Structure 1
Amino acid sequence: MKVKVESKRCKQCELCFANCPKEAISFSQEINEFGYQSAVINHEKCIGCGICYTMCPDGVYEVLEK
């Protein structure tokens, strides 16, 4: 795992999704406690570049390794 997702913070703004160079981000079918589908990382595609971390206004992501 290169990136950790704090799903309860996700507001499904899709900035991470739109900017991920490896298309490693999608959204779960489950709804979080605030009524949004939270981001999900495909760890096989993720390269740990940190763009999701940089783009997210809600602090959803933590980059663990590159």
Structure 2
Amino acid sequence: MSRIVFLEERCKGCRLCAEACPVRIIRPAGRFNRQGYEVMETEGRCTGCASCAIMCPDTAIRVFRDKAGGKTA
């Protein structure tokens, strides 16, 4: 299964990743990083499309794709 890892200390809570996600699994986590920004988290099954990581202006997202689809991380 594909998964997303947020580098929380880089996240500025802009929520562009949530807007870019085609399956709408990214949401605010309700917790804050040291800079005071609300970080994001996932809830649900990631497709590994990487739209969130492409959209993130702070490169705070890493996408790890499953190997079943022939894709690599």
Which consecutive segments of 4 or more residues in structure 1 shift more than 4 A? none
Q: What is the aligned partner in structure 1 of residue 53 from structure 2? A: 53
Q: What is the aligned partner in structure 2 of residue 9 from structure 1? A: 10
Q: Does the 8 Å contact 1:28/1:38 carry over to 2?
A: yes
Unpaired runs of at least 5, structure 2? 67-73
- How high is the TM-score relative to the length of structure 2? 0.80
Amino acid across the alignment from 1:26:
R
> Within 2, Cα distance between the matches of 1:30 and 1:53?
20
Q: Does the 8 Å contact 1:5/1:41 carry over to 2?
A: no
- How high is the TM-score relative to the length of structure 1? 0.87
Q: How many residues align?
A: 65
Once the 2 structures are TM-superposed, how far is the Cα of residue 29 of structure 1 from its aligned partner? 1.0
Q: How does 1:34-45 map to 2 (within 5 A)?
A: 34-42=35-43, 44-45=44-45
Q: What's the secondary structure of 1:8's corresponding residue?
A: coil
> Within 2, Cα distance between the matches of 1:16 and 1:10?
10
The higher-RCO structure (CA 8 Å, 6+ apart) is 1
> Within 2, Cα distance between the matches of 1:45 and 1:62?
15
> Within 2, Cα distance between the matches of 1:56 and 1:47?
17
